[in-house]
């Protein structure tokens, strides 16, 4: 794992300029948050192709839809709470229903927004976007996968939702060479005891869980799942056949996001009767967020290696509970 850290929104600002040079028919819209979402970088480079729509997210999505009908690629950005929540109707009816070529990139998603509190900590956006027909839903894990997801979105003909966080994250994937495709899921470490599948800001946490089990002689498979819809069925199928449990970790409600997508895939595969496979969903357990530092909030909501390990042990091997070394 690389030692350097970088916020996904910084990578987003950089890749927008790269894509703006490649696609002269690309426009970027924002809702008066250009500095926070980093679309300001594109605005400085291509002022005639950037539109600040003001604090009117629904209108921004409608404008984006209209611009896209003239054979243009449009990226529209705001905080996840406003992009996915406030503008849901316009995304559904103006972008997805006519299958317009608009990419909704939502920053500041999840509990890691921190002190802004429950009103700004969107924990429902993956569920909202997954439910809309034709919407591709992505939740990259670092700056490299963020850039790759945006490059993919620019080439893809149709609506795409990309979820980004606020905090700097470890740079794991190469920003120039990492490739992204529909249904992306990367096995970053192999194992045969349990499979930990994560999206968004949890690479380090997933690897900490792996290290805990390694100390106890057990191998954890770790899978980065940047594409929530469509879900990679093969990765889930392999986890069922090869490991005793699947654990999903997401900065989102346990309903509607990665955990739900994996549960649905397991049901659709109809092979769980081969051998019981435990599914453990780590996320906000049907709760709203609170105000606090990201570190405090993640600990309070169970996003620690020890808390996750205890859930895995209780579900898969309760006989080890007294012997497991933390």
Helices (H), 99-142: 125-130
Torsion of CA 149, 154, 156, 159, to 10 degrees: 90
| DSSP result, 171-218 | --S-TTT----TT--EEEE--SSEEEEE-SS-HHHHHHHHHHHHHTT-
Euclidean distance between CA atoms 104 and 87, whole angstroms:
10
- Told to judge if 57 belongs to the known catalytic residues of this protein, a careful annotator would answer yes
Tokens representing residue 231 in the block: 């879900």
Closest alpha carbon to 26 in 73, 87, 85, 78: 73
Contact between 65 and 102 under an 8 Å Cβ cutoff? The reply is: yes
Q: Which of 57, 89, 208, 306 is catalytic?
A: 57
Q: Hunting for tokens 């009117």 — which residue is that?
A: 56
Query: Is residue 42 a contact partner of residue 35, using CB atoms and an 8 Å limit?
Result: no
As a whole number of angstroms, the distance between CA 84 and CA 90 comes to 10
Residue 4 Rama label (left phi>0; alpha psi -120 to 50; beta): beta
Active site residues: 57
């Amino acid at each position: 794992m690389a030692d350097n850290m970088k916020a996904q929104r910084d990578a987003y600002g950089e890749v927008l300029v790269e894509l703006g040079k490649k696609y002269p028919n690309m426009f970027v819209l924002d809702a008066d948050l250009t500095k926070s979402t980093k679309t300001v970088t594109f605005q400085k480079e291509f002022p005639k192709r950037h539109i600040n729509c003001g604090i009117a997210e629904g209108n921004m999505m409608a404008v984006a839809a209209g611009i896209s009908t003239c054979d243009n690629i449009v990226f529209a950005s705001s905080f996840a709470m406003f992009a996915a929540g406030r503008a849901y109707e316009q995304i559904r009816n103006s972008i997805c229903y006519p299958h317009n070529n608009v990419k909704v990139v939502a920053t500041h998603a999840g509990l890691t927004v921190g002190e802004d509190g429950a009103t700004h900590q969107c924990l429902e956006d993956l569920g909202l976007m997954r439910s809309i027909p034709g919407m591709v839903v992505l939740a990259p894990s670092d700056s490299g996968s963020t850039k790759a997801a945006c490059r993919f979105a620019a080439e893809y003909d149709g609506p795409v939702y990309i979820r980004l966080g606020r905090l700097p994250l470890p740079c794991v994937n190469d920003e120039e060479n990492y490739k992204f495709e529909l249904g992306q899921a990367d096995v970053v470490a192999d194992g045969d005891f349990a499979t930990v599948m994560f999206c968004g800001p949890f690479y380090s946490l997933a690897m900490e869980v792996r290290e805990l089990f390694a100390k106890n002689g057990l191998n954890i498979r770790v899978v980065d799942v940047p594409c929530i819809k469509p879900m990679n069925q093969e990765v889930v199928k392999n986890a069922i056949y090869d490991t005793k449990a699947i654990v999903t970790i997401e900065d989102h409600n346990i309903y509607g996001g990665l955990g739900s997508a994996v549960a649905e895939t397991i049901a659709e595969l109809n092979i769980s009767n081969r051998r019981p496979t435990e599914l453990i969903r780590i996320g906000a357990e049907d709760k709203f967020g609170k105000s606090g530092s990201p570190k405090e909030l993640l600990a309070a909501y169970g996003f620690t290696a020890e808390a996750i390990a205890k859930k895995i042990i209780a579900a898969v091997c309760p006989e080890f509970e007294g012997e497991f070394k933390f």
